[in-house]
Structure 1
């Protein structure tokens, strides 16, 4: 019951486990463990309302793909290795590209928490706008960026968000700090997996391909 009514604590506990795996330097990251931990983050996107509805829908679909992949591909390393072998890393909806998108989602939450902790006041507009600009905006076309900007005015207040998460100011600050600390190494781990297997150049190409597609379409890809 505790886990059901304390979503932020569930997220933090899950990412503490991922960080432990990363910091062990000896255990490969299991696809099932990673996708299960990331699935808890979708609750937070839902709490942010219409401004991040696009992120919630996109994120959930990518996490579900990784959950399905976990039934036959045991580690994140193998996810990338198989796509490299099959020459489909660039392919839309490949497991590798979906992993990159999930990584971006957890990084977005990390930056959002950093921005929330850096300011006082009850509005989430500035922290959310800054986090979006840093993580998602470079990969979105004009139409999506405009829709998100309009949605920022419908964000819950800080106090409303904490109420949805069933936390008070002190407990939320502590948990946000813990998520920032644990998610950072996880994000870096995924980025290094890509770089070690496909190189800096291809990672940049993948990011540019996603940005170009979004610049010419108004739907979430």
Structure 2
């Protein structure tokens, strides 16, 4: 008997299956892709942020340069000297007789406001003077919106019987006058001084103008503060002036402020108010 071998060959497509990666591998690739996209986005944002900071630094540098340029253009002493020259010319063009000339309050208060930074430049010794002076000049500037002249300002307080009351315009005017006088004496002393220390000229200016009206505690505090004064060189640097130019402007202020101070004194005396209070 003959045996026939039959080989059964299965269809290839029945056993050949399309291979697909495990599910965990697919998920891993997706996660990696998301992280890559996220990292790219963060990198772009970081780069943009760095660029913006760089641009901001450039803008800040430009603003600082502009500010320094403006500061170099500022000449406080020159502005003060010019303002008081204008006031002095107004008085000298007429007379110091308070019955004839009447000094306008607005330009006067503006000129006085230019003096304010000088007290700040002198440090802690004159901090009290700076605060007091600035507050009183501000009051005069505000008053100038409704009161035209110094005479009218004083006469209104006389009418209201409040001349010597704390905060009155007339009282503030007297304190401002002393501030102007203190700076005048200080400049005189600086012009005449030798060396670099401001202790002697500042001490003498304070003793001559302010000390008679201050109590022991304030005088003691000022005396202690004199050791913290800037040197003359430091003061001139703060004022953006060299010594030669500063001397000229100081001399101008000394000369031009004198008739203004004298006019105020005459105004008080003409109203029998006195100035020693």
Residue 203 (structure 1) aligned with residue 253 (structure 2): no
Name the CA distance, whole Å, in 2 between partners of 1:45 and 1:2: 18
Report 1:12-161 matches (<5 A).
12-25=81-94, 27-161=101-235
Name the CA distance, whole Å, in 2 between partners of 1:28 and 1:107: 20
Which fold has the larger relative contact order, with Cα–Cα distance below 8 Å and residues 6 or more apart in sequence?
Answer: 1
Assess if the C-alpha contact under 8 Å between 2:105 and 2:148 holds in 1: yes
Q: Identify unmatched segments of 5+ residues in structure 2.
A: 1-69, 95-99
Cα distance, 1:28 vs. partner?
2.2
1:28 is paired with a residue whose SS is: coil
Aligned to 1:186: 260
Aligned to 1:10: 79
Name the CA distance, whole Å, in 2 between partners of 1:59 and 1:169: 26
- Detail structure 1 runs of 4+ shifted over 3 Å in the superposition: 1-4
Could you tell me the TM-score, scaled by structure 1's length?
0.89
Assess if the C-alpha contact under 8 Å between 1:51 and 1:150 holds in 2: yes
Q: How many residues align?
A: 203
> What RMSD in Å do the two structures reach over aligned CA positions?
1.4
Assess if the C-alpha contact under 8 Å between 1:32 and 1:70 holds in 2: yes
Assess if the C-alpha contact under 8 Å between 2:72 and 2:240 holds in 1: no
Name the CA distance, whole Å, in 1 between partners of 2:107 and 2:72: 17
Name the CA distance, whole Å, in 1 between partners of 2:87 and 2:73: 20
TM-superposition CA deviations, 1:45-88 (whole Å, max 9, x none): 11111110000000000000001110110000100111111111
Cα distance, 1:37 vs. partner?
0.4
Cα distance, 1:32 vs. partner?
0.6
Could you tell me the TM-score, scaled by structure 2's length?
0.71
2:196 is paired with a residue whose SS is: coil
Q: Identify unmatched segments of 5+ residues in structure 1.
A: 209-221
Question: Which one has the largest radius of gyration?
Answer: 2
